[in-house]
Amino acid sequence: MAAGNGLILYHILGLASFAALLYFSICGVDIRHALPSIGGGASSRVASLPFVERRGARFFLDGRPFYLNGWNSYWLMDQAVEPDTRHRVSRMFSAAAAMGLTVCRTWAFNDGAYNALQLSPGKFDERVFKALDRVVAEATQHGVRLILSLANNLDAYGGKRQYVRWAWEEGVGLTASNDSFFFDPAIRDYFKVYIKTLLTRKNHLTGLQYKDDPTIFAWELMNEPRCTSDPSGDTLQRWMEEMAAYVKSIDKKHQLTVGTEGFYGPTSPPDKLSVNPGDWYPNNYGLDFIRNSKIADIDFASVHVYPDTWLRHANLDEKLKFVKGWITSHVEDGDKELDKPVLVSEFGLSHLVEGFQDSHRDAIYKAVYDIVHGSATRGGAGAGAFVWQLSAEFMEEYHDGFAIVPSERPSMQRLITRQSCRLAALRYGEAEANRVVKTMCA
């Protein structure tokens, strides 16, 4: 690994861990071969990385406030299974680290679909678990941390619908309703078995259990949970409380979030309800942002924002106004109501939506980044933003209209890098940041 990469790692992981990492990266240019041969020593070096901590509405890393720039690549485990696609994982981490991105949100689930991790309730494919091990180990090697999501509300990679189907097939399901994922006792037990298996998984490359691995920044209960059959929000709330407590009973070292899009619900004050996206009001999809995020075992809140699909007929100014209002409102909740950080864990614009222009994407991204930077400058709860989504080259079949290959979009690359640099400047001070991250910020 080149010295330049070492400097980026220094920036990301902080002074204390730099020496260990430099040693680590000199030792193993390719962790895939290096780790088994250096054996137990590798796991103690990984284990000596600091965990991200939370104090009130801020994250801390190595004693300093940690405002992060992140991204989504949902497909990492999937692509790490087959030898001929694995290189995409390394390429993605390298490209992201070169833009100063520090945290990646990705799926740690694949329930019953192609290359499934969970083949059937409680039965796992070791080959796919090894692929996830590899993703975690490669993240460590690139100085990137991970948010690992545990289930999908949507159908991709199985989702809650697959759990319901399993319960039905095993003759234990209460109903065929997709929302029974949240209330059926048998299905809640299935999900707990999966949680326990994942959190206590021993990584075959590092020897570390996932629950003890500081490369993992946080667990996310579910991608975009919704329970439309109960708009009171009680069903989802109970599920979140139960699953959050279960995760914490196994793992108290990592941060935990729900994975909500951020819709306000029945217990929110009227001025908050009116922040929900236009046409959808008053439909809250069973969510209730403030109540959900107040759960004691939940460490931070999340919002998603999709101005072009949520506000189909709005012009750019209207979309910008919505995005600013939506994120500002939730960051304010983090500061005043929750005393917890708030991450924009997905935001994006699809080129498939009529009227799309690259310049619109740049404008919306900049608006999101400015709010996070503004909050960070004040020591506030706006903890970071994650673009949905970045992709490696030559994987168009994984594109959903939102995907950006950084090397193909120089203006976007600059925008993302600039955000990383100014957040680093807040963390280290301008002069120090320029020294530390010179390779990308100069």
Ligand X SMILES: *[C@@H]1O[C@H](CO)[C@@H](O)[C@H](O)[C@H]1NC(C)=O
Query: Which is nearer to ligand X, 178 or 329 (by Cβ)?
Result: 178
Query: Which is nearer to ligand X, 16 or 176 (by Cβ)?
Result: 176
Size of the site for ligand X (CB under 6 A): 5
* Helical (H) or strand (E) element with 249: helix 234-250
Residue 310 contacts by C-beta under 8 Å, 6 or more apart in sequence? Answer: 277, 278, 280, 322
Q: Per DSSP, what are the bridge partners of residue 382?
A: 342
Identify the active-site residue in 138, 220, 337, 346.
346
Supply the minimum distance, in Å, between the C-beta of residue 263 and ligand X.
19
- Contact between 177 and ligand X per CB under 6 A: yes
Query: Which is nearer to ligand X, 88 or 226 (by Cβ)?
Result: 226
Supply the minimum distance, in Å, between the C-beta of residue 8 and ligand X.
41
Supply the minimum distance, in Å, between the C-beta of residue 346 and ligand X.
19
Active site residue 220: no
β-strands 342-347, 382-388 pairing: parallel
Query: Which is nearer to ligand X, 66 or 163 (by Cβ)?
Result: 163
Supply the minimum distance, in Å, between the C-beta of residue 178 and ligand X.
4
Contact region with ligand X (CB under 6 A), list: 173-181, 193-201, 312-320, 321-329: 173-181
Residue 420 contacts by C-beta under 8 Å, 6 or more apart in sequence? Answer: 69, 99, 100, 101, 102, 437, 440, 441
Distance CA 366, CA 187 (A): 41
Identify the active-site residue in 220, 224, 261, 337.
224
Query: Which is nearer to ligand X, 60 or 168 (by Cβ)?
Result: 168
Burial 72-101 (b: 16+ CB within 10 A, else e): bbbbbbbbbbeeebbebbbbbbbbbbbbbb
Positive or negative, the Cα torsion across 323, 325, 331, 334?
negative
Residues in the chain: 442
Alpha helices in 14-158 (DSSP H): 15-27, 31-38, 40-47, 76-81, 87-98, 126-141
Contact region with ligand X (CB under 6 A), list: 68-76, 78-86, 172-180, 426-434: 172-180
Contact region with ligand X (CB under 6 A), list: 176-184, 235-243, 286-294, 358-366: 176-184
Active site residue 346: yes
- Contact between 165 and ligand X per CB under 6 A: no
Alpha-carbon torsion angle 356, 75, 91, 386, nearest 10: 50
Distance CA 19, CA 41 (A): 15
Q: Identity (one letter) of the amino acid at 138?
A: E
- Contact between 178 and ligand X per CB under 6 A: yes
Query: Which is nearer to ligand X, 130 or 165 (by Cβ)?
Result: 165
Query: What distances in angstroms separate CA 287 from CA 121, 235, 241, 263, 270, one per listed residue?
Result: 27, 9, 13, 6, 15
- Contact between 229 and ligand X per CB under 6 A: no
Considering only residues 82, 155, 393, 430, which one is a binding residue for ligand X as defined by CB under 6 A?
A: 155
Supply the minimum distance, in Å, between the C-beta of residue 162 and ligand X.
10
* Helical (H) or strand (E) element with 388: strand 382-388
- Contact between 169 and ligand X per CB under 6 A: no
Supply the minimum distance, in Å, between the C-beta of residue 166 and ligand X.
14
Residue whose Cβ sits closest to ligand X: 178
Contact region with ligand X (CB under 6 A), list: 53-61, 65-73, 174-182, 379-387: 174-182
Q: Identity (one letter) of the amino acid at 242?
A: E
Contact region with ligand X (CB under 6 A), list: 82-90, 175-183, 192-200, 427-435: 175-183
Instruction: Check: CB of residue 272 under 8 Å from CB of residue 280.
Output: no
Supply the minimum distance, in Å, between the C-beta of residue 334 and ligand X.
31
Q: Which of 344, 308, 300, 301 is nearest to 326 (CA)?
A: 344
Considering only residues 32, 64, 130, 161, which one is a binding residue for ligand X as defined by CB under 6 A?
A: 161
Which are the catalytic amino acids? 224, 346
Chain residues that interact with ligand X, rule: CB under 6 A: 155, 161, 176-178
